[in-house]
Structure 1
């Protein structure tokens, strides 16, 4: 008969105690331990409650054996007396040399090893067969969360050399049990379809392969029950209750049936809303934050949002620990609720220190000058959040986190700790890109957005393609003064062959140099003043049109212009790249100075808004309008300053630059006015939701290019888009279908009116360029 280890050491203890009794008590002159392999002698001495020089008797036998067994290192222990020497003979438990999983597909080996490590079973640890008995229970728990109820597990233990064992766990996962039916019983106010549409669990559908919403788990059900409860409480059903839930699985463990029993109760309306407590802020300001009023149906969501809004308002005045609790007074007879919001502002909190961490390259001052929350002043939640946003907008950091722990030993002070993760702000690149418009693009670029951690930007760039050859130098200092006045300098040479990008045949060579100053008006508004000098050399080809030849005959082909510029920007975007909320307005104006070889002006306005709809889902609308014209000795906007439309960044679905007027050869010549509108829903790539450098979109574009500022000839298109900020350059793609096509009329070289069909293009992309 095999004895349990506990019984064995009791029996051994009795036998040794009889031996000790027959010999009488003795003073231990020495302790010798035999049988050790991996366990050190010192470990045994530490746990053995007997020391040399002490008296040892039968009363100490059982405690000594018990103490050694509790270590878990031994499977057998014997105590013997040889003269006055206490002999301790042990047999160690084997160690686990390896754990092998076979048959697992749904869960990786690493995930399974982590799960078993929690119950004390992992390679290198002492093997305990009792722990092995827990393996099936733990693996069942892991697989049940993945909807697999037909799990079968078989474990094998093989003895290896040097008192080691190898454990093989054979897993038969079985098929995933799918939710066959979800029943809601007791609902009268809302039908099953409405309620089932609010919860995550569902029967199998065409998206279940991705969402896994047809796989049952206790966690998902608990979350769905809370969602269901919130749905009713937000619609006045104060006494709503979930009376019971039943989950049944078919004998073959393939189908699951879920039944939810509910009790709706009656709808309650709000009779009174009051503010009580120490309001601190003017009551008329807090009243405006109350999102529910008398006569409305009670809503827990509105009550929660009101409490948060009041807490945030008090937080802006330094009451960081304010509590706002809504206490309902329910009148069961009238089915009404009196809502009282009790305000407890607590003590005003002051900022003790603002600490920065993680900025190993960027100087501390670069971060601190973006702070809107100051040390030693009261803590404002709005200013702290704005400071975080300004750090994110710098573009130097992959992530920015902020914590506001209370200062130990005080009840009215907090520290504000910003933690940043820096990313490479410098770029040294040379490579090849491809654009659907320009073809193969060779480029080289040296740029540093954060020179020596100072926040200044320097760039030297070169680009070459069949359309464009460009050399550019630039410098930008965002804090030319401590008040945030910025200054920038640019210089460059650009040669363009327009005929290579689907527009009229001509080429230009431009030398330019300029500078500008940016002056912040407030937290969100900035004006910029600039001055640019530019020399333009215009050249024709044998394919140049009458319009181009006529312009050169009247104006010449070499022009020197000096252009003052003025712009205003209102920017509330939360990020510079892939923003998810906020907006941006920009009004720009340029005019060549009187006396320049060409006298003209250009004005433009662009407005974009981002709305977060759900996690990683963002809706954007934007509109752009621009207009230019000549003045003085120049009768119209020079054709090489015209606006173009169609393609990426404009109205997708139409060939690049194809919208608008055409020259006498039938090539797009652009127009003096532009109107573009866009609406787009951005969402993450399925299976890549954690990758922030990639996003997809569904869009509708509209726009027109003309010489008369009008919307009479708008073009429309709809489609899907994708954007990827890859290590090799930015990639943008779109698949779009024009919704309105027509014709454009131009006068050919013989004076005849010719109509050309709009040029559509289903697939469009750019690679190796910014978008």
Structure 2
């Protein structure tokens, strides 16, 4: 019906235009003495004069009259155009289209109004544009298309046009969104080698779960369905089904437009095993080296991932020798009689090239030098694929960018030169750390910190940590310059002021510690760094009521005010695939501290290893082991104020932060009839063991930024004369949620102790932003 109406309107318009043209043509040609325009309100007269092909002094003719009318209508600014002639004067009479003054939306909840306005602007409907009924009809269809993309098929849109002064109109789109159409069923027909449930687990779209309100995985999207089908195809190709194909995909919507049924029809074909792998082409006389890069295994099922990994490794290896355009292609020879396939890897190094120029793009805030100093590939040097990969990874590990890509472009007019462009997408580098814990004894405890990793785009970091609880007050400032020297030696400065007052009584004792340190990090390899530094500590015990006996003994031996000058040395190796969401790799750390001067003489050391194992494509097992040891030197006792603490986040969850005691301390409490005033928790020896199994949150699909985890924590704290025995260890189990939020990694964990001792303080719920393990 709408098409018929449009046809009638166009026919009438053509007839009217023909009549007007005929009226103009009926005039005898004459010389134009003047041209006037009537009916203009907002359009400039110069626009009309510039559009018509007639000028003063020209001879007015039939063709020019018709061309003038066509040109003015083509502007889209006028509803009607007439040309009148009298005594050699042409009068162009126009009726302007109304101008759109404002576009408003009501009832829209799914989309932000700015998004809808942009969609209309793209089709030519916006403030200040001429009003056109045809464009309004297109606008309604575009708005419905936007809602259909969100599976809202029942959306209705009513347009209201309100005329206002100065030949303007206001447009109002009233949206009735309706309900979202949900996926009710997904079927895969024709699959025999794998169960339907196994294949549906590969899909991002599903029939919904209790978290679908967040993931929206049960909303139909053609784009997502195509991606799921490609995932299905890739899965079969990794399992040896070389001739797998998707025959058809049907999407049926229920009569009420509230439910979607999806059916995918597939043909699996036969499963093929690899019979032989051979090389062909030019391998630069390094066939053995290329052979070692092959991950395809003869005798096993064909695996497209292994083939792609091998060809990519060949191309990368060509790049190590300067062949920037080296490629490898895998050709298959299928024997259907035996269900075997022979793979021929054809290598072509192409030509050798060197890098003319390296460009940096996308760094609006970060300085060029911050990115360029991470490069291992140099300008005017032979193209080196390994150095380029190292450069890209080093820029990515800075943590300043959402995305880092490296593009290679041939230099026009040359055969052996390329330009490299590193494209970065910046992200906010400021982060807030917030810690909270709930315990039955002390209620809610809070800590706060702020860190800017890329201060002023310089690559240096600034950090502040504040704890304002009623028992422990902390103020810590630190800054790191990763390129204190041009060779990449980093420098870290730490300043700290800590006050501990375990009791709220006015006359209660307190301990105040002031410290400063400077540490230099010297990189030895791409993943190994050695740290060397020194510091200064001042500690003061302010006597008062409830002063623990161990603190009084410390004061008797060293004094109420003590000074120390510790030297530090350490080493770290980090081979994780990701700093925020690792799935494979290892972190090794060794740190030592030796107080060589002052009132206190001691050594402290820490050894830590973290290992990440990919249990499956979506699940990761994370293991952590840490051993801390401290002892006195020069015949002096180990200072109790340097004791390690155990309990809470970062050690054994389920217990209050830093509250766990040693066997000797527990025995002293028993001997004192349950009194703890003479006891200070912690000790010079500590062992911490953690295991976590992380998986995408139920209903969250493959989103790795939102995960749940189950954990087991085991830890022990020991006094200077206590033996390290397993019977003195605490243990806990629990579950939690991990989310990579815009302000940093967030963790919420619920823990239950499974091994504890009398007097232990429990903390079942722990919340933290700013930690990754």
* Superposition TM-score, scaled by structure 1 size: 0.82
Establish whether residue 201 from structure 1 lines up as the match of residue 205 from structure 2: yes
**1:278 pairs with one of 275, 282, 297:** 282
Q: Displacement of 1:647 after TM fit?
A: 0.9
Counterpart residue number, 2:659: 658
Asked if structure 2 preserves the Cα contact closer than 8 Å seen for 1:12 and 1:78, the reply is: no
Cα deviations by residue, 1:725-752 (Å, 9 ceiling, x for unpaired): 898xx99764322241232xxxxxxxxx
For residues 129-208 of structure 1, the aligned pairs below 5 Å read 129-208=133-212
Matching residue of 2:625: 623
Aligned partner of 1:91 in structure 2 is 95
Say whether residues 1:227 and 2:227 are aligned partners: no
Note the alpha carbon deviations across 1:526-585, whole angstroms, 9 max, x for none.
223334455655566553455555566667666555544322222345777787875432
Structure-to-structure mapping, 1:310-709, within 5 angstroms: 310-356=314-360, 364-391=368-395, 393=397, 397=400, 401-406=404-409, 408-409=411-412, 410-411=414-415, 412-417=417-422, 419=424, 421=426, 467=471, 478-486=482-490, 496-497=500-501, 508=511, 515-532=518-535, 534=537, 536=539, 543-545=546-548, 547=550, 561-572=564-575, 583-593=586-596, 599-609=601-611, 620-631=622-633, 633-634=635-636, 637-661=638-662, 662=665, 664-665=668-669, 666=676, 667=679, 669-680=681-692, 699-706=711-718, 707-709=722-724
- 1:739–1:326: structure 2 CA closer, same or farther, 3 Å change rule? farther
Residues 371 and 610 of structure 1: CA distance in aligned 2, closer, same or farther (over 3 Å): farther
Contact 2:648 2:655 in 1 (8 A): yes
Is residue 46 from structure 1 mapped to residue 53 from structure 2 by the alignment? Answer: no
Q: Looking at both structures, which has the greater relative contact order when contacts are Cα pairs under 8 Å and sequence separation is at least 6?
A: 2
After superposition, the Cα gap between the structure-2 partners of 1:12 and 1:449, relative to the gap in structure 1 and judged at 3 Å, is: closer
CA, structure 1 residues 8+615, in 2 after alignment: closer, same or farther (shift >3 Å)?
farther
Give the equivalent residue in structure 2 for 1:752: none
User: Could you say which residue in structure 2 is the equivalent of 1:740?
Assistant: 754
Q: Distance in 1 between matches of 2:638 and 2:633?
A: 9
Bigger drift between 328-337 and 380-389 goes to: 380-389
Q: Which moved more, 1:410-419 or 1:370-379?
A: 410-419
Q: 1:66 to 1:615 in 2, by over 3 A?
A: farther
Shift, 1:457, TM fit: 7.0
Matched position secondary structure for 1:406: strand
Which blocks of at least 5 consecutive residues in structure 1 are unaligned? 744-755
Aligned-residue offset at 1:297: 0.9
Cα pair distance change 1:723/1:639, threshold 3 Å: farther
Structure 1 distance, partners of 2:255, 2:436, is: 59
Determine if contact 1:150/1:174 at 8 Å carries over to the other structure: yes
Does the 8 Å contact 1:447/1:460 carry over to 2? yes
Secondary structure of 2:654's match? coil
Counterpart Cα distance in 1 of 2:581 and 2:352? 37
Deviations 1:675-731 (A, max 9, x none): 112344678999999x9999986544322222333444341232325689898xx99
Instruction: Give the Å deviation of 1:166.
Output: 3.5
Evaluate the alpha carbon distance shift between residue 498 and residue 770 of structure 1 in structure 2; reply closer, same or farther with a 3 A threshold: farther
- 1:749 aligns with none
Deviations 1:498-550 (A, max 9, x none): 6789xxx9755556565554433222222233344556555665534555555
How far apart are 1:72 and its partner, in Å? Answer: 1.9
Give the direction of change, closer, same or farther, for the CA distance of 1:683–1:87 in structure 2 (3 Å limit): farther
SS of residue paired to 2:73? helix
Q: Which of the residues 203, 215, 218 maps onto 2:219?
A: 215
Q: Find the aligned partners of 1:760 and 1:130 in 2 and give their Cα distance.
A: 70
1:121-167: per-residue Cα shift (whole Å, max 9, x none)?
33322222233333443333222222223333443444443333333
- Alpha-carbon distance change, 517 to 19 in structure 1, aligned in 2, over 3 angstroms: closer
Q: 1:587, CA displacement in angstroms? A: 0.7
Contact 1:326 1:339 in 2 (8 A): yes
Retained in 1: the 8 A contact 2:107–2:174? yes
Distance of 2:9 and 2:525 partners within structure 1: 79
Q: What is the total number of aligned residue pairs between the two structures?
A: 746
CA contact (8 A) 1:699 1:721 kept: no
Q: Is the 8 Å Cα contact of residues 693 and 726 (structure 1) preserved in structure 2? A: no
Structure 2 alignment gaps of length 5 or more: 670-675
* Alpha carbons 1:717, 1:738 under 8 Å: kept: yes
Partners of 1:31 and 1:639 in 2: how far apart?
Answer: 102
SS in 2 for 1:65: helix
- Per the TM alignment, residue 293 of structure 1 is displaced from its structure 2 partner at its CA by 1.8
Match of 1:719 among 722, 730, 735: 735
TM-score, length of structure 2 as denominator length: 0.82
Q: In 2, distance between residues paired with 1:78 and 1:547?
A: 105
